[in-house]
Amino acid sequence: MEQELYNIKENALKEINDVQDKKLLAEIKVKYLGKQGELTAILRNMRNIAPEDRPKMGAIVNEVRNALEEAFYSKEDIFAKQELEEKLQSEKVDITEPSKGIRKGSLHPIPSVLDKFIDICVSMGFTVVEGPEVESDYYNFESMNTPKNHPARDMQDSFYITENILLRTQTSAVQGRELETRKPPFKIVVPGRTYRNDSDSTHSPMFHQMEGLVVDENVSMADLKIMLSEMMKRLYGENTKIRFRPSYFPFTEPSIEVDVSCPNCAGNGCKTCKGTGFLEILGAGVVNPKVLEIAGIDSKKYRGFAFGMGIERTSMVLNSISDLRPMFKNDARFLNQMK
Ligand code: DAH
């Protein structure tokens, strides 16, 4: 039996040494050490051995098993290393290969103008607030001193949902909400979507506005003009000329419209500005005291000024485009050309 064990050891070690394949090695392992393996069979036979011989035989069996396990372990290790090496060779990355290039994404022209304008306003001390797009007739019109049947409503062909609920036609709607809840003095801007039943090359049924509102004890038209001039210069460029024209809005008194010199032709006249050298960009004015009173603010103590700017208009001017509709078609060939 002792001899038999040493034979097993010798044969197994030779086979392990000669084998060149991981799968065959596993088979050899089963052949010797598996449940039906040769060494296991001998172990099972131990009970037939005379008790006084058992310790010696046990020691030999252990020695043989340890030797085989050791041999299997080192051979498996060799195969694993070989396999890893082959994998590393075949998956080698050629770091000198030229790259395919990275395509850079960019912001859509609308949010990009909004972001720029918001940054300007925040740097001037404004707080950004938002309001609902589905709005009550009260906040959209009544609180803005535009009662039912007011002729100024005709300018804003509205999408009504019920008699008293509509898609807001102007971010001015948020003025009424904020005037009710904020304590003066405050400075807010309201970026957001607005809706009107208009659709042609310069009007979209959904468009964006940015509203501004300042309420304090001693503010005047002069402050509004200085502030807007500064904002427009930062938005359109240092050399931009600004023009103020009298206008009318129910929520401001006096009201103005603001034009900026056409950035496309620097005010000389071109197609973008229809030869006038200027582009109409926003409405503004001193807040009508009635608007403050409707919201419960003492109009003898406080005054305000406000402005509302069309974002699509601004983006069209900055990008020299005459039709805004492609902005909402998401054709990357068009959007990639935008600044
Ligand atoms: N809400 C006006 C519109 O959509 C724009 C506007 C004009 C807003 C004057 C204002 C303002 O805050 O003071 O046509």
**Among 238, 244, 272, 275, which Cα is nearest to 258's?**
244
> Which of 33-42, 138-147, 273-282 comes out lowest in average pLDDT?
33-42
Tokens of 294: 């409707």
Averaged pLDDT of the chain: 92
Tokens of 130: 């938002």
* Residue 249 CB less than 6 A away from ligand 1: yes
Distance of alpha carbon 168 from alpha carbon 82, whole angstroms = 71
Look up tokens 């069209």; give the residue: 316
Look at residue 285 in the predicted model and tell me its pLDDT.
98
Look at residue 299 in the predicted model and tell me its pLDDT.
97
For the chain, the helix, strand and coil percentages under 3-state DSSP, each to the nearest 5: 45, 20, 35
Distance of alpha carbon 297 from alpha carbon 290, whole angstroms = 9
Look at residue 295 in the predicted model and tell me its pLDDT.
97
The whole-number average pLDDT for the span 53-69 is 87
HSE-up of residue 177 (Cα within 13 Å, Cβ side)? 19
* Residue 250 CB less than 6 A away from ligand 1: no
> Which of 50-64, 122-136, 218-232 comes out lowest in average pLDDT?
50-64
- What is the residue with the minimal CA distance to atom 3 of ligand 1? 170
User: Quick check: 317 and 263 in contact, CB under 8 A?
Assistant: yes
pLDDT of 133 over the 90 cut = yes
Instruction: Tell me which of 288 and 96 has the higher pLDDT.
Output: 288
Q: Is the pTM of this model over 0.85?
A: no
How many CB atoms lie under 10 A from the CB of residue 75?
17
Highest mean pLDDT among 126-130, 150-154, 234-238: 126-130
Distance of alpha carbon 42 from alpha carbon 124, whole angstroms = 92
**Among 206, 120, 192, which Cα is nearest to 159's?**
206
The whole-number average pLDDT for the span 80-90 is 90
Look at residue 228 in the predicted model and tell me its pLDDT.
96
* Residue 305 CB less than 6 A away from ligand 1: no
- Ligand 1 center to 172 CA (angstroms): 6
- Ligand 1 center to 130 CA (angstroms): 16
- What is the residue with the minimal CA distance to atom 13 of ligand 1? 284
How many CB atoms lie under 10 A from the CB of residue 206?
14
- What is the residue with the minimal CA distance to atom 12 of ligand 1? 307
What tens digit of pLDDT does each residue of 237-276 get? 998 899 999 999 999 999 999 999 887 788 888 877 889 9
Quickly state the pLDDT bin for 290 (edges 50, 70, 90): very high
* Residue 307 CB less than 6 A away from ligand 1: yes
Start-end of H helices in the chain: 2-18, 22-33, 38-45, 54-90, 109-123, 137-140, 173-181, 221-236, 289-294, 311-319, 332-335
Look at residue 192 in the predicted model and tell me its pLDDT.
97
14 DSSP assignment: H
pLDDT of 83 over the 70 cut = yes
Residue partners of 85: CB distance under 8 A and separation at least 6: none
Give the three-state DSSP class for 186: strand
Look at residue 91 in the predicted model and tell me its pLDDT.
87
Quickly state the pLDDT bin for 56 (edges 50, 70, 90): confident
pLDDT of 339 over the 80 cut = no
Distance of alpha carbon 93 from alpha carbon 181, whole angstroms = 63
Percentage of the chain modeled with pLDDT above 90:
59
> Phi first, then psi: what are they for 273, rounded to 5°?
-100, 15
Instruction: Tell me which of 284 and 89 has the higher pLDDT.
Output: 284
What tens digit of pLDDT does each residue of 1-27 get? 788 888 888 988 899 999 998 899 999
**Among 225, 228, 220, which Cα is nearest to 304's?**
220
- Ligand 1 center to 284 CA (angstroms): 6
Look at residue 229 in the predicted model and tell me its pLDDT.
94
- What is the residue with the minimal CA distance to atom 2 of ligand 1? 308
- What is the residue with the minimal CA distance to atom 9 of ligand 1? 284
Burial class of residue 176, CB neighbours in 10 A (0-12, 13-18, 19+): buried
The ligand 1 atom at the shortest distance from the C-alpha of residue 194 is 4
